[in-house]
Amino acid sequence: MTQNQLDKKSEAWSALFSEPMSDLVKRYTSSVSFDQRLWQADIEGSLAHAGMLAAQKIISTQDHAAIEGGMKQIRDEIESGAFEWKLDLEDVHLNIEARLTQLVGDAGKRLHTGRSRNDQVATDVRLWLRSEIDLIDGLLASLQKALVDIAEQNVEVILPGFTHLQVAQPVSFGHHMLAYVEMFARDAERMADVRKRVNRLPLGAAALAGTSYPLDREMVAKTLGMDGVCQNSLDAVSDRDFAIEFTAAASLAMIHISRFSEELILWMSQNFGFIQIADRFTTGSSIMPQKKNPDVPELARGKTGRVVGHLMGLLTLMKGQPLAYNKDNQEDKEPLFDTVDTLKDTLRIFAEMAGGITVRPEAMEKAALRGYATATDLADYMVKKGLPFRDAHEAVAHAVKAAIAHQVDLSELPLKVLQEFNPKIEKDVYEVLSLRGSLNARNILGGTAPAQVRAQIARHRARLG
């Protein structure tokens, strides 16, 4: 095929076709507008393939050298913005191949020996996604470190812990922050696990059945730093489960961000007043000058739906496809690319925003006192005095009722009143009924006692480096 024929490939794929592709179909089927971001992976994969072809004496050392020189020039052109991306050449792969052939002639045409765009694109996406996962891992670590910093600064700060959004028991604000550290740590673990399945080589599967050329696929995998090769040529070119799995892991990470966002939004409202987010992460109102809106967490909460939607789209994309490759799979890239971009941007801004959170301990403690947060501590106290827990639970319910009637906290009820519910109650009950006493009592692995929180902070610091 001459260069002119390659440039005009879309007008007639081969002699089999009797008319050129319509402009509408050309635009509809082209992917170069979005898949050009794969160019680095495409060049990296092509160079590894060319090196293997030369080692196997499928192409000459001269052709190999020409390909390497041409690819270097193409890399420079793309990085400088001088490279011309052509819609007629449909995708990133044909654009690079056409330019290579233009630069080095027949050597460029020989590069595609033993491969198809089917295994080429699957390889490119895997290489690109692998590097993005590595970046995401670093961003997840940065966010965790930022939350550990907040936790360390607020170990002794008392926050009302909620269930059903009702005040339940007092917890350390530092302990609360570490709950999100645990979530994001699991997200990092999931990403590392996904990376193992991403990091496998499809190249050499060709269109669907493998190739008759004596390729050394293991050599290419080693050159590209991949953990192994895809063992079935049909599967290698046709499945996108690795992209789906990544998007599922990204969806979970975004859901954790969304939960954190929801709390930041609530805590910043005047009805809570637990925190303040730095002005650089908020916006004002066009009509109400008193407003300071938590737009960053609100938008992250909204973008979570976007990422989850991409997961649903990819699942639906794959569910009805017969083996092997189908053009449907061109539609995997935009949702995958947007998922990566959205997750990276969100993690980056949340790590920065965490450093701009101002905690208001007085407001948190006041809220904890409003909800009879030490009621369970009173029940536990009665149990230790010999009362069965269910009886203690009932007795405390009556005590809370009395406190509500007198408009006081449990800790403010006179001893005589408390003894009406259990005569074994003594003066030491007031230490139990204090918020600080309740906090310190949870001195068990995973508990909210400050000693336990500090131990967890040390564990996370050692883990994160």
Catalytic residue ranges:
164, 285
Strand-pairing partners, residue 161, are: 169
d(CA 394, CA 44): 70
d(CA 271, CA 59): 72
**The two structure tokens encoding residue 350:** 């949340």
d(CA 20, CA 11): 4
- The DSSP line for 390-417 is HHHHHHHHHHHHHHHHHT--GGGS-HHH
Q: Which residues of 113-123 are buried (b: 16+ CB within 10 A; e: fewer)?
A: ebbbbbbbbbb
Contacts of 261 by beta carbon, 8 Å cutoff, 6+ apart: 297, 298, 300, 301
**The two structure tokens encoding residue 250:** 């990204």
Reported as type and span, the H/E element at residue 200 is strand 200-201
CA distances from 421 to 376, 380, 393, 395 (A): 14, 14, 11, 6
Reported as type and span, the H/E element at residue 170 is strand 166-172
- The DSSP line for 346-358 is HHHHHHHHHTTEE
d(CA 310, CA 339): 7
Sign of CA dihedral 283, 285, 291, 294: negative
